[in-house]
């Protein structure tokens, strides 16, 4: 469903991505990990065209992302994205955060969008907060709203950019629970995260990146069992043993 071919990206002369290649099939859950600055976030932002790239090709559901003729808003509306800092719209009520794009992009009626929004808020356990503003919710609750907002567009795939990195420890699980549920329902997911428990539980494959390159791309058990590269071994030992 998502095909990434030889993607390279530079900021000036600094190369942030180097010939990244991987494929994500429908219903597959991929965890992307690696040290900070390794290009993980940049790579997933290339998938929905939030970050341009200079070389290579990304095709999502048959649509080439890098093609200037591709209408990016349409493509993006079909891929859900969840950000590290939630990025809810602070001036809109929770329910309006969920209906804005449904109405403006998908052309749904307000009633239809509202019903869909409430159904999804119910699903993440936050229906009672529909009329509050984002600032009144905890970080974990805000991130669950952000997931519901992405789901309100009926996406064919979901991108997660370190969804739990900005959360207090006790709020991480409530967000991961929603993500696990989503994975078990068969959603195609690409998650940049350091939550190895989540990776062990639901990921099909783990991609390890370092210095803008995909160093390791292996099935979960293989990755956790015996990573081939030394760099991945070091990384794993650092984040698993402390």
Partner 1 sequence: MNLQVILDNLPYLLWGAFPEGQLGGAALTLVLSVASAIAAGILGLLLGIALSLSRGVTNAILVLTLGFFRAIPVLMLIFWTYFLLPVAFGIDVPGLVSVACALSLIGGAYLAHAVHAGIAGIPHGQWQAGLALGLSRMEVLRHVVLPQALRIMLPSFVNQWVALIKDSSLAYIVGVPELSFVAAQVNSRLMVYPAEIFLFVGAIYFILCSGLDLIAGFVSRQLQRRSQEAPDRGRCRQ
Binding site for partner 1 (CB under 8 A): 45, 48, 50, 72-81, 83, 85-92, 100-101, 104-106, 133-139, 142, 149-150, 153, 166-168, 171
Residue 105 burial (10 A CB sphere; 0-12, 13-18, 19+): middle
Token pair, residue 206, equals: 């783990």
Cβ 146 to partner 1, closest distance in Å?
Answer: 8
Q: Kindly tell me the sign of the dihedral angle through the C-alpha atoms of 42, 189, 131, 97.
A: positive
Rank residues 50 and 59 by Cβ distance to partner 1 and give the closer one: 50
* Number of CB atoms found within 10 A of residue 81's CB: 22
Q: Give me the least distance between CB of 89 and partner 1, in Å please.
A: 5
* Tokens standing for residue 242: 């402390």
Q: How far is the CB of 150 from partner 1 (least distance, A)?
A: 8
177 closest CA partner among 213, 144, 203: 144
Cα distance between residue 120 and residue 150, in whole Å: 10
Q: What's the CA gap between 65 and 47, in Å, rounded?
A: 7
| Beta carbon nearer to partner 1, 38 or 142 | 142
For the CA atoms of 21, 202, 48, 194, the dihedral, rounded to the nearest 10 degrees, stands at -80
In the complex, what is the shortest distance from the CB of residue 157 to partner 1, in angstroms, rounded to a whole number?
A: 12
CB of 230 to partner 1, least distance (A): 32
Shortest CB 96 distance to partner 1, Å: 10
Contact 133, 96 (CB under 8 A): no
For partner 1, give the closer residue by CB, 90 or 219.
Answer: 90
If the CB atoms of residues 87 and 112 are measured against partner 1, the closer one turns out to be 87
Residue with smaller CB distance to partner 1, 53 or 86: 86
Q: Based on CB atoms, which residue is closest to partner 1, 12 or 225?
A: 12
């Amino acid at each position: 469903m998502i095909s990434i071919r030889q993607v390279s990206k530079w900021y000036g002369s600094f190369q942030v991505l180097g010939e990244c290649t991987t494929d994500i099939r429908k219903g597959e859950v991929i965890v992307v990990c690696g040290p900070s600055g390794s290009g993980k976030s940049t790579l997933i932002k290339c998938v929905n065209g939030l970050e341009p790239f200079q070389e290579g090709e990304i095709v999502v559901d048959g649509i080439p992302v890098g093609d200037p003729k591709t209408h990016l808003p349409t493509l993006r509306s079909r891929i859900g994205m969840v950000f590290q800092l939630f990025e809810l719209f602070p001036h809109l009520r929770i329910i309006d955060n969920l209906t804005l794009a449904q109405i403006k992009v998908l052309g749904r009626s307000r009633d239809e969008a509202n019903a869909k929004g409430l159904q999804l808020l119910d699903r993440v356990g936050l229906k009672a907060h529909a009329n509050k503003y984002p600032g009144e919710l905890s970080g974990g609750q805000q991130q669950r709203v952000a997931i519901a907002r992405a789901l309100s567009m009926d996406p064919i795939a979901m991108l997660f950019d370190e969804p739990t990195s900005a959360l207090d420890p006790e709020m991480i699980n409530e967000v991961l629970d929603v993500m696990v549920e989503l994975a078990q329902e068969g959603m195609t997911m690409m998650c940049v995260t350091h939550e190895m428990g989540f990776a062990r539980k639901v990921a099909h494959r783990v991609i390890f990146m370092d210095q803008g390159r995909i160093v390791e791309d292996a099935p979960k058990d293989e990755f956790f069992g015996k990573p081939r590269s030394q760099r991945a071994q070091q990384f794993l030992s650092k984040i698993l043993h402390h």
